[in-house]
Amino acid sequence: MSKKSGKAAGGRGAKSSKDEIKPVPSGPVLVDTKTGNTIVKILAKPGAKTSGITDVSEEGIGCQIAAPPIDGEANTELIKYLSKLLDLRKSDISLDRGSKSRQKTIVLDKSGCRHSPEQLLVIFRKEASTET
């Protein structure tokens, strides 16, 4: 039995390479470590009278969209609104996930987006506070 316990202590679980694993970042605005692009989690609310940021939380950026969720109209309006808000070209913003869902993932191209995640959060929070 002592041989088995010796193997467990010196086995795969004792390698120090596991210390190098970084925790998965959380929050509504992240930077993709592989591509360098900025990722924004959006909680969309289509069919509103006007487009705007409603709230900022750990789950995502609450965004009301002044377009119905029909034939991608709300997605197009969301990208148009974000490009105006963040002063980016529409081609620098793309919908990565959630084309038919209220939970969306938006990617801001690193070559076009000059804002840091912290700056983006400030912009979103400022816009959310002016909406109320």
Domains of the chain: 29-131 (3.30.1200.10)
Sign of CA pseudo-dihedral 122, 125, 128, 129: negative
| pLDDT of amino acid 130 | 85
Residues 55, 126: Cα–Cα separation, whole Å:
10
Q: What is the pLDDT of residue 22?
A: 46
The alpha carbon of 51 is separated from its chain's Cα centroid by a whole number of angstroms, namely 18
Angle value at C-alpha 26, between 25 and 29, nearest 5 degrees:
100
pLDDT on residue 109:
95
Helix (H) or strand (E) holding 31: strand 29-31
Closest CA to 48 of 69, 17, 20: 69
Q: Kindly report the CA angle at 79 between 74 and 82, in degrees rounded to 5?
A: 120
What are the tens digits of pLDDT across the range 84-119? 999 999 999 999 999 999 999 999 999 999 999 999
pLDDT category, 56, cuts 50, 70, 90?
very high
